Amino acid sequence: MKNIDHSAVRIRDGFWKQKQELVRNVTAKAVYDRFSDTGRFAALKCSWKPGDEPEPHIFWDSDVAKWLEGVAYLLQEAPAPELYSLARAAIDDILSSQEADTGYYNCYYLTHPDAPRLTQRGNHELYCLGHLIEGAVAWYAATGERDFMDAMAKYADYVEKCFKTERTAGFVTPGHPELELALVRLANATGERRYMELAKFFIDEHGVDKREGFGALCDWANDIYNMDEKPLRERDTIDGHSVRAFYLLSAVADIAAEYDDGELAAAARRCFDNAAFKRMYITGGFGSSHIGEAFTGDHDLPNRTAYTETCASIAMAFFARRMQKLETDSAFADAIERVLYNGALSGLSLDGRAFFYENPLEIDPDFNHVEPATKIPPHYPITQRLEVFGCSCCPPNVVRLLPAVGDYLYGLDGDTVYVHQYADSEAAFDGVSITQTTRYPADGAVKIRVFGAKKLALRIPGWCESFTLSVPYTMYRGYAVADVTDGAEIELLLAMPVVTMAAHTRVHADAGRIAVMRGPVVYCMEGVDNGKELFSLKLAADAVFEEEDSSVCFAENAPLLPVLKTTVTRRSAPDALYSPARAVVSEDVPARFIPYFAFANRGETEMQVWVLEK
């Protein structure tokens, strides 16, 4: 299947249009301002000297590069003169500082000449290059200006020489995967096959050379952390650092498709299944441990200590989109949808200025502020979003995700157009034009017109228990496939009641608890609406919900989705650490649920996704 690029898609109205305009009008500049305040843009000039503050960091280039990529996507949609000027200035600083003979660029290493290059696998040089390549390819596509891409191609040539041709580098494969998938993009943009071969080289070598470990952890932990304990073709599970794992698997899927490598494709599918069906939070979050920002084991999904980095959810979307090229299965689009509406979007505040690095499913501000007796930095998530982080990878990742959300809507396989995601949009590609008219996910009604296709395949989401389609269809791997004639309007209605959800019995953190979903959107409770001690409330599995306009909870920046009103049971007991169960008193009280992605926008307050079942 061919994935349709966002450049061929225009989001016209509704939910995602609102979010894209937020990034254009607020978020992109807000991230730029904070990156300027913290020295990231000044560092691109490579003029730092010992004693200056702040000192460049080894991964700062990647933060800026992701921001550049996001700006490029905004420019593809419509002119943005201020953003263009800021981005062009940053690119010029990179090009003027790049090493002339080798093409090498890194704002840390070029200002620390005694630090040996390409010898420390964990120092993010190749990770930064990967993001610089992605930003450069996107810039070329948006503006036609090729100098940035040519400069990064020269750096890639140097990497090819050091790692593949001469093998003079101090390690074999990138410590933080990202360069692999970026090389695929560079090969496709330039037509230079060597970059595809280099990406394949890194995939083939990964997990083979046992000298790859780095850092203070034991060899076993290093191997698991980097998915290095075995060759990628032998993998059955997704492990280690969650963002690294998904970036690496994105490249695995790319190479499997490019080389028709069934063995790699099968390994990618096994890892996807493990992630989606045994290690994914209901919110589309990934990585249950703060130790290594990592996966742990199947069904180990704690709520309060969930790490669930915003970048991990975004990276899963990248991986699942690539899996769509390898085989037809609505499971990939289902995972993307869960991520987009929940685990990735929760990383951005409703006003577009602040972010979460971690996205827990439960917050108690008092508990989260407890400093562990060990004096290890607190691993419970912060309770309010921040505008910038010391490791600020997530904000620019949001900046590049939302303008490119059109990437996820459509696919083409022969004469069949696939609709993977629903959004009010229009697209034109390969002689096909298609329009969607819908308020999704506010409701499940979708009207579609298509020209230039013989068949239309509409994904029936995994959450949807009943639907109607205005034309005859057959089901194929989660898609309703119908014959179509040019210009005929097809109507799809996805039933979207509020549903209470239960977790697998092995998810011990959710035993005796239920969650609330409406369509693809997970809901949560906050103390600001429901008072303190949310964690003693009980909700009936058959509770009746009323829908209310979200303005009842949000005075500004209200989501284009309803909030939900129902009745829960509140328990109260004597003010003692322990008391007889017969002393507990229960009463029914009104309660409200809001979309999960909107939590922590109204001050510090308790929050929970999983509620005790009555």
Tokens of 300: 């180990």
* pLDDT tens readout for residues 494-507: 999 999 999 999 99
Whether pLDDT at 510 is above 80: yes
Instruction: Compute the average pLDDT of residues 176-185.
Output: 98
Contacts of 125 (CB under 8 A, 6+ apart): 58, 106, 109, 117, 118
Instruction: Compute the average pLDDT of residues 519-533.
Output: 96
Residue 380 has a pLDDT of 54
Residue 289 pairs in a beta bridge with 294
Instruction: Compute the average pLDDT of residues 192-216.
Output: 80
Residues 258 and 138 in one domain: no
Residue 185 has a pLDDT of 98
What is the C-alpha separation between 153 and 160, in angstroms, rounded? 10
Q: Domain end: 160, 186, 205, which one?
A: 205
Instruction: Compute the average pLDDT of residues 385-392.
Output: 91
* pLDDT tens readout for residues 311-323: 999 999 999 999 9
SS3 (DSSP) at 231: coil
Residues 52 and 195 in one domain: yes
* pLDDT tens readout for residues 332-372: 999 999 999 999 999 999 999 999 999 999 999 887 654 44
Tokens of 366: 């008092």
What is the C-alpha separation between 563 and 602, in angstroms, rounded? 15
Residue 210 has a pLDDT of 54
Residues 463 and 593 in one domain: no
Residue 383 has a pLDDT of 81
Whether pLDDT at 377 is above 80: no
Residue 376 has a pLDDT of 43
Residue 325 has a pLDDT of 97
Residues 46 and 121 in one domain: yes
Residues 441 and 526 in one domain: no
What is the C-alpha separation between 515 and 204, in angstroms, rounded? 42
Instruction: Compute the average pLDDT of residues 154-163.
Output: 98
Identify which of 85, 134, 90, 67 has the alpha carbon closest to the alpha carbon of residue 398.
67
What is the C-alpha separation between 63 and 390, in angstroms, rounded? 11
User: Considering the domain boundaries, does residue 215 fall inside one?
Assistant: no
Residues 576 and 505 in one domain: yes
What is the C-alpha separation between 392 and 178, in angstroms, rounded? 16
Residue 208 has a pLDDT of 85
Residues 356 and 488 in one domain: no
Q: Domain end: 161, 189, 205, which one?
A: 205
- The kind and range of the H/E element at 96 are helix 81-97
Identify which of 299, 283, 358, 276 has the alpha carbon closest to the alpha carbon of residue 511.
299
Cα 116 to the center of its chain, rounded Å:
33
Q: What angle do CA 19, 309, 607 make, to 5 degrees?
A: 75
Residues 480 and 516 in one domain: no
Residues 259 and 377 in one domain: yes
Residues 126 and 175 in one domain: yes
User: Considering the domain boundaries, does residue 265 fall inside one?
Assistant: yes
Total number of residues shown for the chain: 614
pTM for this model (two decimals)? 0.96
Q: Domain end: 388, 408, 428, which one?
A: 408
Confidence of residue 191 (pLDDT cuts 50, 70, 90): very high
Residue 611 pairs in a beta bridge with 514
Give me the domain span that covers residue 553. Answer: 498-613
Whether pLDDT at 214 is above 70: no
Contacts of 30 (CB under 8 A, 6+ apart): 352, 353, 387
User: Considering the domain boundaries, does residue 9 fall inside one?
Assistant: no
C-alpha separations of 484 from 50, 79, 466, 477 in Å: 67, 36, 22, 19
User: Considering the domain boundaries, does residue 224 fall inside one?
Assistant: no
Q: What is the DSSP string of 430-498?
A: TTEEEEEEE-TTSSSEEEEEEES-SEEEEE--TT-S-EEESS--EEETTEEEEE--TT-EEEEEE---E
Are 316 and 339 spatial neighbours (Cβ–Cβ below 8 Å)? yes
Which amino acid is residue 14, in one-letter code? G
Residues 200 and 242 in one domain: no
Q: Output the CA torsion sign for 277, 419, 394, 223.
A: positive
Residues 550 and 440 in one domain: no
Residue 374 has a pLDDT of 44
Tokens of 581: 């169960």
DSSP 23: I
Tokens of 228: 């290095």
Q: What is the DSSP string of 246-300?
A: HHHHHHHHHHHHHTT-HHHHHHHHHHHHHHHHHS--TTS----BTGGGB--STT-
User: Considering the domain boundaries, does residue 140 fall inside one?
Assistant: yes
Residue 231 has a pLDDT of 93
Active site members: 293, 393
Q: How many domains does the chain have?
A: 4
Residue 369 has a pLDDT of 56
Are 16 and 405 spatial neighbours (Cβ–Cβ below 8 Å)? yes
Whether pLDDT at 378 is above 50: no
The domain spanning residue 486 has which CATH number?
2.60.420
What is the C-alpha separation between 254 and 376, in angstroms, rounded? 39
Which amino acid is residue 124, in one-letter code? H
**Any idea which of 250-259, 382-391, 451-460, 466-475 has the lowest mean pLDDT?**
382-391
User: Considering the domain boundaries, does residue 442 fall inside one?
Assistant: yes
Whether pLDDT at 218 is above 70: no
Residue 368 has a pLDDT of 65
User: Considering the domain boundaries, does residue 312 fall inside one?
Assistant: yes
Main-chain phi, psi angles of 352, to 5 degrees: 80, 10
User: Considering the domain boundaries, does residue 452 fall inside one?
Assistant: yes
DSSP 413: E
What is the C-alpha separation between 334 and 316, in angstroms, rounded? 11
Q: Output the CA torsion sign for 17, 519, 284, 381.
A: positive
